[in-house]
Amino acid sequence: MGATPPKYRYIIATLLIIIIILGGVLAYYILSFTYSPEKPIIIRFWHAYNPVETEKVAKLIEEFMKENPDIKVEMEAIPYDALHDKLITAMATGTAPDVVRMDIIWVPEFASMGALLELDKFIKRDNIDLNDFFPGPLETVKWNGHYYGLPLDTNTRVLFYRKDLFAEAGIDHPPRTWQELLEFAKKLTKDKDGDGKIDQYGLAIGGAWPWHFFPFLWQNGGDFLDNDMKKCIINNTEGIEALQFLVDLIHKYKVAEYGTDVWRGFALGRYAMMIMGPWGKPLIASVDKEVAEKKTGVALLPKGKYAASIVGGEDIVIFKQTKHPEAAWKFVKFLISKRFQLEMFKVGQIPVLRSLASNLSTDPYYKVFMEQLETARARTPHPKFAQMKEIIHREVEAALLGLKTSKEALDTIATEVNKILEG
C-alpha cells in the first residue's frame, strides 16, 4: 500500500486530538460526579442535652465547623431514657454514631462490650493533660487500665442549708463534721405549733440510691467493691456504721426525714438542711425565689473520717464503628477545650477542668461545687453497675424505712452483688 496523503494525515491527527480532548472532558465530568476532594467528613453526634443546652451546643458546633470546613457535625438530640437502648440497637445494626455524650455509668458497660474506641494513643500523641481533669470525673472513663472517653461535664453533691433557720437556732456556720451535723440537726428540729408533731426537721434524706448513700460510705472509710472489683465489701464495719448513722438520724434522734422532692420541703421551711446537686437552687426558686436567692447557703459535705462526695455528669466517647476516628477525635478535643467548657457553664454545665476553677470562683454558689469536686468520687465503674444499683436502692431504702437493720440490708446487698460478680 502507498503512503497516506498529507491531507488525510492532517485530518486523522485532528480527529485524534478532538477525541483526546473530548475524552478528557468526559473523564473530568465523570470524576466530578463520583469523587469530590472538597466533600466534608460527616461526624454523627448523639446527645441528651436539654433544649437550652442543645441550642448553645449547636452554636458552638457551627463555630467548630467554620474552623474545620472538612468536618460536618450532624447533631441528634435523643431523650435520656431512650438513648441507652437506641445505642444498643445501633451497635447491633452497624449504624452507631461516631461520637456520643454518654452517662458516666454507661462507659464501663459499653467499653466491656468492645463498642468504644480506646483513646490512649490519641491522648498520648496530642499531650492531653489528664491531671487537669478532676480525679472523680476522670475515674469514670477508665476501664481495664485504658481510657475509653474523656470527661465532658460534671456535678457533685454539697450541703444546702437555710441561713434564716440557722440564725433562728443560733447557729453561725454550716456543719463541718458528722458530729456537728447531728448536733445542729437536733437544734433545728422543731414542733412549731405545739401539736406534738415535728414541723421542721434538721435534715432531709432525699433518697437511697448510691448517689445518696455512697458519700457517707466513703466518708467513713468504706467502699462498695474491693480494688479488683471481684467482691462486694459494702457490709464491712465501716459500711454498717455509715448506714446506721443515717438510720439513727431518722429513727433514734428523729432529726431527719426520708422522702422525695426534698427541695420543695426545703423551700417551704420543713427542712433546714438537704444534700443536693447544682440544680438545687433553680428547683428551690421554682417554689420560692426569695428563699433561693437570699436564704439558701451551700457548703462542703460534713466530713466523717474523710472528706468525700460523689460525681455525676456525662462523658464523651467515640464508637469503634466510626469510619473517621481522626475527625471524631478532633471534635472530641473541641468539646473538652476550655472555650467550650466555659461557654457551656453559662447554661449550667459544670466544667471538668481544674484549670477553670479560678474562672468560676467569683460565683460563691458554684465555687463550693468546684471545691467539693476535689474530693468527689465516681460510682463504681463496673459494666453491671446499673443492675447492682437497683439492689443497693432496694436494701438501703428498707433500712432507712426501718424494715431491716443496717447489717441485714448490707449483707443482702453483698450476697446478691457477689452472685453477679461471679456470674
pLDDT given at position 27: 47
pLDDT given at position 3: 52
pLDDT given at position 26: 46
Domains defined along the chain, listed by start: 41-155+312-377 (3.40.190.10), 158-310+381-422 (3.40.190.10)
Tell me the sheet residues that pair with 312: 155
pLDDT given at position 107: 96
d(CA 57, CA 411): 45
Which three three-digit cell numbers place residue 249?
A: 438520724
pLDDT given at position 357: 84
d(CA 83, CA 86): 5
Chain segment 144-169, per-residue pLDDT in tens: 999 999 999 999 999 999 999 999 99
Exposure on the CB side of residue 23, measured as CA atoms within 13 A? 6
Residue pair 409/243 in contact (Cβ under 8 Å)? The answer is: yes
Residue with cell 467499653: 111
pLDDT given at position 28: 43
Strands 309-318 and 150-156: antiparallel
Angle formed by the axes of helices 210-219 and 237-251, nearest 10°: 120
The amino acid present at 365, given as its one-letter code, is Y
Q: 3-state DSSP call for residue 151?
A: strand
pLDDT given at position 52: 87
Residue 46 DSSP label = E
Residue 143 DSSP label = E
Taken as a whole, the chain contains a residue count of 423
Regions in the chain scoring below 70 on pLDDT:
1-38, 361
Residue 76 contacts by C-beta under 8 Å, 6 or more apart in sequence?
44, 45, 46, 47, 97
Chain segment 253-263, per-residue pLDDT in tens: 999 999 988 99
pLDDT given at position 335: 98
Q: How far apart are the first and last CA of the chain?
A: 91
Which three three-digit cell numbers place residue 292?
A: 433561693
